[in-house]
Amino acid sequence: MIDSVGGIIVATKQKKLGTFDSVHLLIGGMIGSAIFSLSGMTILSAGPAAIISWILGALILLAYGLQTAELASRYPQSGGVFAFPALLLGKTREQGNLWGWISAWAYLFGCIAGAAFSAIYIGIYLSVAFPVMGSWQVPLGITAVLFSGVLNAVRFRITGKTTTILTLFLGLTLLIFSVSVFSSGSWDASMFTPFFSQGSGGVTGFLDALPLAMVAYGSIVALSFLVGEVEKPNRTIPKAMAIAMSVVLVLYLVVLVATLGLVPSSYLQENEEMRYIPLYAAAFSLPGLAFLTPLISISAVLALLTTMIVTMALASHTLQATAEQGALPHFLARTGKENGAPLTATAVVVLVTGFFAAFPQLTNLLINLGALCNVIVVAIVCVTVIASRKQHPTKEAGFFHAPGGNLLPILTLAVLVASYIPSIIQGGWQLWVATMIYYVIGLLFYRKPRRQV
């Protein structure tokens, strides 16, 4: 049986997850808001070469998912984003705890940034679909934040059937969009040439776009924290991850190709308001298909709202787990007496997310800093996997092992570093300054844990 708690799908003890259920869980998690919104920024930066960004992003996140599954199998700790590095990195307990905090602090902003961005664009998608709501963008976004926070506070359960219906609806919407575009007579294959130099990032634009494309596949790690509930995890996990990633990647590539045949990078460079609503921009260019724009808008809102519920829940639980380990003030670990929900952490997440959602002009900062924070987490996980394998050099029965040996985390790290070299060379220092400021703020709250994880 599969349930979803606060938007996060979990397995009950009644039945272990087989391949079918595992694939369904992962596909449902990955078909979300990114394709409706962030795809536009990858097209802006890379043009048609954004296709490469999305393929590389899928491969990197597949490798990341397999590595987190290996760690979760050997160290089934709550708050793994803090616990894994704290257990395995550094020469002393204090150093390990610091690495755990660096990972958790980055993961926290990645979640909050995703939620705030989603809130901002719920208002925008509704306003473009229904012009009467044009002046309500910020109130709509803040309302979505409060709604998501309340659902997480009461541990609202979305049944597996509801999750399935939503996933099928979003997938069907994307297929209807793609078929409509290809059959419209307006789709233009000539827009794919030149392939690499159309984007604002030039020939290396596909590397600039890579961190944003990776965000779309973040839910691949959902299975990692359910290793104990997976039937024959050594076989089921890699098989389910590969199948789910293949299905989602093919669907996303079809949507990207359809969009790129109508909406080139030059259009997004000239029309800033369309950069985060590229599917709407494509649908809007087909006046003969009037049903398509409201369908895309409604689907995008549902996907964005689902993303908010999930990311805000993850942020709350990260705060709670890190506070329980002593790295953040203990009041953040308080839970509700009746349902065990992290009430204080949820309230903090609602306040911070609501603050960012009230300032749409911060969108670029949210997305770029959030993507960088996600990359920091992936990089730390890669190093943690290498450290774990040094402690356990031989494969042991009963534990999941990601394929590829140490080559897998090393290659993942190399591609991540390469993806940020162009932005550094081209003057992306502001992003790194913002990252430093964020961590300085975090140091004001950081406490050395008084006990070992």
Closest CA to 6 of 330, 315, 238: 315
Q: Two tokens at 261?
A: 């045949």
The pLDDT value recorded for residue 57 is 94
pLDDT on residue 1:
30
CB neighbour class for 234 (10 Å; exposed up to 12, middle 13-18, buried from 19): middle
Helix (H) or strand (E) holding 74: helix 50-74
Please, what is the angle between helix 363-391 and helix 407-425, to 10°?
Answer: 150
Residues 81-125 have pLDDT tens digits of: 888 898 899 888 888 888 988 998 999 998 999 899 899 988 888
- At residue 453, the pLDDT reads 43
The reported pLDDT for the residue numbered 448 is 61
Residue-range domain boundaries for the chain: 2-445
One-letter amino acid of 311: T
pLDDT of residue 3: 34
Q: What is the pLDDT of residue 224?
A: 77
Residues of the chain whose pLDDT is less than 70? 1-15, 77-79, 155-163, 225-228, 339, 422-428, 447-453
- Residue 396: per-residue pLDDT: 78
Q: What pLDDT is stored for residue 225 in this prediction?
A: 66
For residue 157, the model assigns a pLDDT of: 52
Cα–Cα distance measured from residue 453 to residue 88, given in angstroms and rounded to the nearest whole number: 10
Helix (H), strand (E), coil (C) string for 381-401? HHHHHHHHHHHCCCCCCCCCC
Phi, psi (deg, nearest 5) at residue 151: -60, -40
Domain 2-445 top-level CATH class = mainly alpha
Residue 30, pLDDT score: 86
